[in-house]
Structure 1
């Protein structure tokens, strides 16, 4: 059980990094391309990828909560982290600090 649990957490952390990077690309590259350079396809494709990663991150947070028996506070922090630039990176650091990573 512990091995699958650590695999779930590892996968969650990986998706968290991917979700965080996709948000930064969306806000820092794709949106300026859309509004400053008139290239809306950048937001379309980056937004799509980010949306998939966002849903995967939140779904995995629920799964890992069950696998790791996280307190509800951990789940709330994971959800809040997904809404802010650099949030998933800070949440990962917070997990390491609390011995969960």
Structure 2
């Protein structure tokens, strides 16, 4: 896989992870706690969990491919737990 393909793949994972986190926080959680409908949290939560793991693994993969220093890798990994963090990473580091 070429470097361009690796970056493109990580960009997609980053965007999907960020969107899933926002859907979880802004739609699924209110449905669960306000309207007592937990079904969406179960589905979106699982999807987000898988995407989160792929994002963190992808961050280490990109760190090696793009020769990031530890500070950059740390920022990218911490961004995975911030609601808009993956979008920031996608624009700044990729």
- Output the TM-score relative to the length of structure 2: 0.94
Equivalent residue of 2:68, what SS?
A: coil
Equivalent residue of 1:38, what SS?
A: coil
Equivalent residue of 1:88, what SS?
A: helix
Residue matched to 2:91: 93
> Gaps (5+ residues) in structure 2?
none
The range that moved more, 76-85 or 63-72, is 63-72
Q: Aligned pairs, how many?
A: 94
1:85 to partner: Cα distance:
0.6
Q: How does 1:1-101 map to 2 (within 5 A)?
A: 4-95=2-93, 101=94
**Runs (4+) off by over 3 Å:** none
CA distance in 2, matches of 1:7, 1:64: 11
1:42 to partner: Cα distance:
1.0
1:47 to partner: Cα distance:
0.2
